[in-house]
Structure 1
Amino acid sequence: MLRDLEATGEFRARSGTGFALTPALREAYASGSDEELEYAALLEAARASLRLIAAEEKAEPRRAVVSVDVDDATLRPDLDAAVVRLAGPVPKSQIAAIHVDSTEAEDAVAAAAAVIDAADLGDEDAEFTLGDAEDHELAWYALQELPFLLELL
């Protein structure tokens, strides 16, 4: 998806699904600044990227989240508190940042992708494995760094 972004100049979220600071997400937390709640949405997006990794046979074992600034997202509380549907492809001009795992996270991310479905069903061991991956902070990249980031992948 990142390579497509570089080639086309647009980011196309799988099934148009995104994660955002929504009213439902705000209600789910007793307190927290907008920045803290946006970080919670980022973590939800990172967890969702594990599902994309699990679905692809040759996927890089690194979570990736593209942060965008859009006004026309539709809330999807039927899926989760932070889930939104994007209206369509997002042009580069609306991309705020790209967040990607470092190489040190690859083993933990691969293990987490292998058990993401079990974790969703409540398996405590699988949830522990997800925690190992989530202990790795995503690195922040500016859009201008995308060509260099792709070389590193």
Structure 2
Amino acid sequence: MRVYLPSTLTAARTVLRDRAVPAGTAFAVTPALREWYSQSDTEEMEFVALQGAARACLRLLDADPQAPPRRFVFAADVDERILRVRDDLERGAVEILEPVPLGLVRAVHTDDPADTEAQDAVRAAVEAVLESDLGSEDAAFVVDGAEGFELLWFATQELPDLL
């Protein structure tokens, strides 16, 4: 199953060093996501899961204020036996029960490191994401501003250059 694991630039350095993405919350095409987007194809639903992981990156950045303001998502193909669907937390959420070897990562998605406008939008979204999660429409508007910047796709072997 394809999963999208949120991260930060700081944590991605640890992934490269340890050759594994740590266990934790990720996003995938789960039954609830499939039901909600029943008129969409798999590619569109995977994009929604990627967006869920990108939003989770904002929460990780909020917890690590020293990390550069860039969303970082690992896309990996994992055996379904190492995950538990957590649609009760958020549509598309899954819990990864063990570290994911770097060899299973198929791509890395991140904000353009040269785009200062995207970094500003991510920085503002980080400051607003918790309020957005609590229902603030103004904060949701700020978070949506960061989501307007698409994450770039990189091959796994480009990870050292991204860091």
Bin for the TM-score computed over the shorter chain:
over 0.9
Q: 1:55 aligns with which of 32, 49, 63?
A: 63
The one-letter code of the counterpart of 1:3 is R
Asked whether 1:17 is paired with 2:54, we answer: no
Aligned ranges 1:4-153 → 2 under 5 Å? 4-13=14-23, 16-71=24-79, 72=81, 73-103=83-113, 104=115, 105-150=118-163
- Number of equivalenced pairs: 148
CA RMSD of aligned residues (A): 1.0
Aligned-residue offset at 1:59: 1.3
**Higher strand residue share:** 2
- For residues 20 and 49 of structure 1, the distance between their equivalents in structure 2, rounded to whole angstroms, comes to 15
Given the two structures, how large is their TM-score scaled by the length of structure 2? 0.87
Per the alignment, in what secondary structure is the counterpart of residue 18 of structure 1? Answer: strand
Per the alignment, in what secondary structure is the counterpart of residue 32 of structure 2? Answer: helix
Aligned-residue offset at 1:87: 2.0
Q: Percent identity?
A: 47
- For residues 57 and 81 of structure 1, the distance between their equivalents in structure 2, rounded to whole angstroms, comes to 27
Equivalent pair of 2:32/2:91 in contact (CA under 8 Å): yes
- For residues 39 and 122 of structure 2, the distance between their equivalents in structure 1, rounded to whole angstroms, comes to 29
The one-letter code of the counterpart of 1:38 is E
In the other structure, the counterpart of 2:8 is none
Per the alignment, in what secondary structure is the counterpart of residue 102 of structure 1? Answer: coil
Per the alignment, in what secondary structure is the counterpart of residue 19 of structure 1? Answer: strand
- For residues 30 and 78 of structure 1, the distance between their equivalents in structure 2, rounded to whole angstroms, comes to 18
Aligned-residue offset at 1:49: 0.6
Deviations 1:108-133 (A, max 9, x none): 00000001011112211111111110
Greater shift, 35-44 or 115-124, is seen at 115-124
